[in-house]
Structure 1
Amino acid sequence: MVMQSPRDQVRYVLILTLGFNLLVMAIKAGLGFWTGSLSLQADALHSVTDSANNVLGLVANRWSSPHPDREHPYGHQKFEAVGALGIAAFLGITCFEILRSAVTRLWLGASPVNVSGGELWLLLLVLGINIFVAFYERRVGLRLDSPLLIADAKHTMSDVWVTIVVLAGMIGLWQSRVWDLPQLLWLDIVLAFPVALLVFRSGWEVLRDNLPWLVDEIAIAPEAIYQVTMTVPGVVNCHDIASRGLLGRQVFIEMHMIVEAQDVETAHEITEAVEQALDERFGPVRVLIHIEPPDYESEQISFGLQES
């Protein structure tokens, strides 16, 4: 039997969890429209992010390669971030629509929500699937040391808590007829608000995690890069350090460096040692080093505001 590479194993887990997440989303959406539950419809839209994260993961696994080519000399990983921005925009619109529907129902009166024992059992099934997916992804992610799977498992776990809240509301609506408490009919609309806020939070987290990658925000503190570089024998000084990218995926580092070398071959060996040390500490990284003469020694480790 041929052993799968870690990348192939990650792809297999993502495809498997995508199938489960699509099933969960379909069940929630069907129950939401069947029962007329606004909170359940909102939960279904929140579950869209789980499937979208799986798709982004597959795109990252297949296309968002850090390896350069002629058209993309810095790799392809920003394609993943661009797709994530589309998901964030979708979640923002979703949040607005949920809140608008909830306010409209509060203003015009709540529509009846029909909940039976069958729908509750289906929701319990959905909850069980979500819990299985979250723990399965986390276990495999830890075994393969995959940040992608670990992060996706964390997001799926947040969906578990949302489903628990919605399930509690559905049980309250189901029992409202038994207990003769018509006030509980408003429970569905009330629960739609926190679920909508969780949808907004998911969108904000997607935006927060990917925007720094697109605007070339600093990836590693220049002081940390300086400390690693200065431990390499032969390095006299390094300055004007810059970094961009995403730690754990791909980081680009640039610096100016002065080395103790009398010939190009020795200087090259020192820079190779620096690149190896940085890759071992922060990898994967691509390092660009500009060698300078001793007269160019500077105490300016990185860039900052300059007085005009």
Structure 2
Amino acid sequence: MHDPHHHLPQDNRQEVRRVLWLTLWLNLLVMGLKATIGFLTGSLSLQADALHSFTDSANNILGLFANRFSSPTPDRDHPYGHQKFEAIGALGIGMFLGIACFEILKGAIAKLIEGQGEITIGLGELSWLVVVLGINIFVTFYERNVGQRVGSAILLADAKHTMSDVWVTILVLFGLLGIWQARVWDIPQLQWLDVFLAFPVAALVFRSAWEVLTDNLPWLVDEMAIAPEAIHKQVMTVPGVLNCHDIASRGLLGRQVFIEMHLVAIAEDVATAHAISEQVEKHLEAVFAPARVTVHIEPKAYESAHIGFDGTSSSHP
């Protein structure tokens, strides 16, 4: 008998939680600095950026909640584990981003209609923004590295969001540099840079939201995780397999996948057929790890040419 837990993904929630707590405090610091400088200078693009950073902090809190419930270990109520809680958390991030995008656009359009107020920006405020940019860059690469190493959807989604925050901050910084120089060059029209920059900021926020949604929806709606042809190819390498068909897979490759199929084995008795199916399970669990594989043994007469559920058929008779 093989260990029933070897097909489960490793539980890295404690490490994810540590990263989320650290980045939460850093994001709160970033948000506070941007909001303070934004209100002191009257910069709309910086206030919008602070709102974007607020969603970073909200995402960390959301991530901590999702992390609390997303154990890969099955229980009575959740026999397939709880990992989709993390995908739901990531979708929440997408929702926050959508709200932020709407608020930024609303503020920018209002300024276009009502007119732009005077923006006062000095070297001190610009220096603080460079510090903020440094913190954002650190958070992005730290979260991305840990997220890739432990395979955490929430950390990767959050790193993607913080990366958009980096570009937003760079954009806003350039705009404020232009406004700072407007007095030196005596070009008051440069004051409008702030409002116009709010639009590309909103576009970057929307792009982040779209990416987070498209990364996590397939997992939640049980989209095919592995092409049935790829699974069929692996199964046919196991000695004693005559045919496999009706292959289905779901989950996220690299995180955890669930594979099921019907198998026809070259065996005259149930014990031999079972032994072959066990070999198939072990082989697939090794190739597509972490995976949970269910094999349904059928008699020779049930042999089928349909590999998957889309009319794909094997070259075998």
TM (normalized to structure 1)?
Answer: 0.88
Q: Distance in 2 between matches of 1:262 and 1:52?
A: 60
SS at match of 1:51: helix
* Closer/same/farther in 2, CA of residues 125 and 57 from structure 1, 3 Å limit: same
- The answer for the alignment partner of 2:19 in structure 1 is 13
1:272-291 aligned at under 5 Å gives the runs 272-291=278-297
Q: Deviations over 1:276-299 (max 9, x none)?
A: 222222221111111110111111
- The answer for the alignment partner of 1:203 in structure 2 is 209
* Closer/same/farther in 2, CA of residues 219 and 156 from structure 1, 3 Å limit: same
Q: Deviations over 1:230-280 (max 9, x none)?
A: 111111111111111122222111111111223333222222222222222
Q: Deviations over 1:41-74 (max 9, x none)?
A: 2222323444345445544544212221111112
* Closer/same/farther in 2, CA of residues 31 and 273 from structure 1, 3 Å limit: farther
Cα drift, residue 207 of structure 1: 1.2
User: Is it true that 1:40 corresponds to 2:25 in the alignment?
Assistant: no
SS at match of 1:238: strand
Gapped runs of 5+ residues in structure 1? none
Q: Deviations over 1:202-251 (max 9, x none)?
A: 11111111111221111111111111111111111111111111222221
- Specify the code of the residue in structure 2 equivalent to 1:114: T
* Closer/same/farther in 2, CA of residues 53 and 236 from structure 1, 3 Å limit: farther
Q: Distance in 1 between matches of 2:286 and 2:42?
A: 55
Q: 2:90 aligned to 72, 84, 100, which one?
A: 84
> Would you say the 8 A contact 1:258–1:297 is kept in 2?
yes
Q: Distance in 1 between matches of 2:111 and 2:103?
A: 12
Q: Distance in 1 between matches of 2:63 and 2:274?
A: 37
Q: 1:133 aligned to 135, 139, 151, which one?
A: 139
- The answer for the alignment partner of 1:174 in structure 2 is 180
Gapped runs of 5+ residues in structure 2? 1-10, 313-317
Cα drift, residue 305 of structure 1: 6.6
* Closer/same/farther in 2, CA of residues 96 and 47 from structure 1, 3 Å limit: same
> Would you say the 8 A contact 1:56–1:80 is kept in 2?
no
> Would you say the 8 A contact 2:236–2:242 is kept in 1?
yes
User: Is it true that 1:165 corresponds to 2:171 in the alignment?
Assistant: yes
* Closer/same/farther in 2, CA of residues 24 and 84 from structure 1, 3 Å limit: same
SS at match of 1:256: strand
- The answer for the alignment partner of 2:199 in structure 1 is 193
> Would you say the 8 A contact 2:261–2:295 is kept in 1?
yes
Q: Distance in 2 between matches of 1:53 and 1:276?
A: 38
TM (normalized to structure 2)?
Answer: 0.86
Q: Distance in 2 between matches of 1:279 and 1:56?
A: 32
* Closer/same/farther in 2, CA of residues 63 and 147 from structure 1, 3 Å limit: closer
- Specify the code of the residue in structure 1 equivalent to 2:234: V
Q: Distance in 2 between matches of 1:22 and 1:205?
A: 24
Cα drift, residue 86 of structure 1: 2.7
SS at match of 1:289: strand
Greater CA drift, 196-205 or 275-284? 275-284
Greater CA drift, 178-187 or 75-84? 75-84
Q: CA RMSD in A?
A: 2.4
Q: 1:103 aligned to 103, 106, 109, which one?
A: 109
Q: 1:234 aligned to 223, 240, 258, which one?
A: 240
Q: Distance in 2 between matches of 1:222 and 1:292?
A: 18
* Closer/same/farther in 2, CA of residues 54 and 208 from structure 1, 3 Å limit: same
Cα drift, residue 147 of structure 1: 5.2
Aligned sequence identity (%): 68
Cα drift, residue 12 of structure 1: 2.4
- The answer for the alignment partner of 1:69 in structure 2 is 75
> Would you say the 8 A contact 2:241–2:264 is kept in 1?
yes
- The answer for the alignment partner of 2:5 in structure 1 is none
Q: Distance in 1 between matches of 2:131 and 2:192?
A: 25
Cα drift, residue 7 of structure 1: 5.0
* Closer/same/farther in 2, CA of residues 237 and 65 from structure 1, 3 Å limit: same
- Specify the code of the residue in structure 1 equivalent to 2:179: L
1:255-270 aligned at under 5 Å gives the runs 255-270=261-276
